[in-house]
Structure 1
Amino acid sequence: MKRHEALYPLSHHHHHTLMMANQLKKADENSSIQKMTRDVIHFWEMDGEDHFRDEEEVLLPLYAQYESVDKDEIKEMLLQHVQIRSYVQQVRSTKRADRSLFRELGELIEKHVRLEERVIFPMIEKAVPENYLYQANGRFHRDSYSGF
């Protein structure tokens, strides 16, 4: 899917997020709970938390200047942010996390990224003038994997 280049950093984060989601969805009896726990916490602290802030504090307020955010798609996106944060808190606080917790988190993350890439971002690209998308780009955090 062709993405406006100003949103490349967010889409780039999504690529790494989907890779992690796929690993989590495959959690089975051979998967190390300790490694998955470390991976989720590392992902969240290095990129996930900042990525959500980018969307909630930069992208959606910008979009709201041109279109109403009182849309089911936006509400679903934000609800998923809350749910993902809840899963991360569970991973952090549970001494013996169940592998199903990681699989559920992986499923939710994949669903969330697909919603943003297929629905939310195209809405934003259509509504927000290009020069303002570029200005928003300068406020996005850089991906810890690639620096993008």
Structure 2
Amino acid sequence: MGDNKPIKRSLWLMPLSREHHAGLQCAWKIREGLKYGVETDRIWRYILYFWENHLSSHFRAEEELLYNTSDDALCKQALTEHAAMRELIGLINEDGDEDVRLYKQFADSMEAHIRLEERQLFPLLEATLPAAELAEIGAVLAGEHGTVFKDEYPDEFWIKS
């Protein structure tokens, strides 16, 4: 059986970890909408809302503050996964509601990426980055990402009617 205890996160990276919770919720909402056979244009609009209002700035912060500062293989993997999810967003935006397989792929990719960051990458960075650098990163995150993202999307398509 897996260890489901909460992961202890340094105070400095907590804003990103809190935002990861919103990402996991997004993936769940997409899957629930697909499971209930919701009109795909409703899910499509939500994915674009989530990207524009949360995920794009989250990616930018991780890349600028954490991943582009290291040659570590996990940082490179995270950057590659960000690029793949950006590409998926582009495809979803182009195809609109025509290819729901992209929605599932996006939800699955986002969840797997968050798990990688929380279980492997963030612990590595917390263990290897100097305390002063972590504090500096934390100060920037507290300013830019200090408020928890509130998903106030009005169409709750993920709730079974």
TM-score, normalized by the shorter chain, greater than 0.5: yes
Question: More displaced, 31-40 or 135-144?
Answer: 135-144
TM-fit CA distance, 1:90: 1.3
TM-fit CA distance, 1:29: 6.0
1:41 matched to 2:48? The reply is: yes
* Residue aligned with 2:149, SS: coil
Q: Contact between 1:25 and 1:104, CA under 8 Å: does it hold in 2?
A: no
Deviations for 1:68-112, whole angstroms, at most 9, x for unmatched residues? Answer: x242x2222111101100111112121333222111111111000
Equivalent of 1:52 in 26, 37, 59 = 59
3-state DSSP of counterpart to 1:138: helix
SS at match of 1:109: helix
Q: TM-score, normalised by structure 2?
A: 0.79
Unaligned runs of 5+ in 2: 1-6, 152-161
Residues in 2 aligned to 1:94 and 1:50: alpha-carbon distance in whole angstroms: 23
Equivalent residue number for residue 90 of structure 1: 91
Task: Give the CA RMSD over aligned residues.
Answer: 1.8
Which residue is 1:145 aligned to? 150
The aligned counterpart of 2:75 is 74
Aligned length: 140
- Aligned twin of 2:26: 20
Q: Is the 8 A contact 2:78 2:117 kept in 1?
A: yes
> Equivalents in 1 of 2:17, 2:77: separation in Å?
18
Q: Write the distance in 1 (CA, Å) between the matches of 2:78 and 2:98.
A: 26
Deviation for aligned residue 1:128: 1.2
Q: Which amino acid aligns with 2:20?
A: H
Is the CA contact (8 Å cut-off) linking 1:54 and 1:139 kept in structure 2? Answer: no
Give the CA deviation at 1:25. 2.9
Deviations for 1:39-73, whole angstroms, at most 9, x for unmatched residues? 111111111111111111111245x3xxxx242x2
Q: Which residue of 1 aligns with 2:107?
A: 106
Equivalent position to 1:30, from 26, 37, 46: 37
What amino acid is the match of 1:30? G
Gap runs ≥5 in structure 1: none
Letter in 1 for 2:49: H
1:119 aligns with 2:120: yes
Distance in 2 between residues matched to 1:119 and 1:38, nearest whole Å: 32
What letter matches 1:35 in structure 2?
A: R
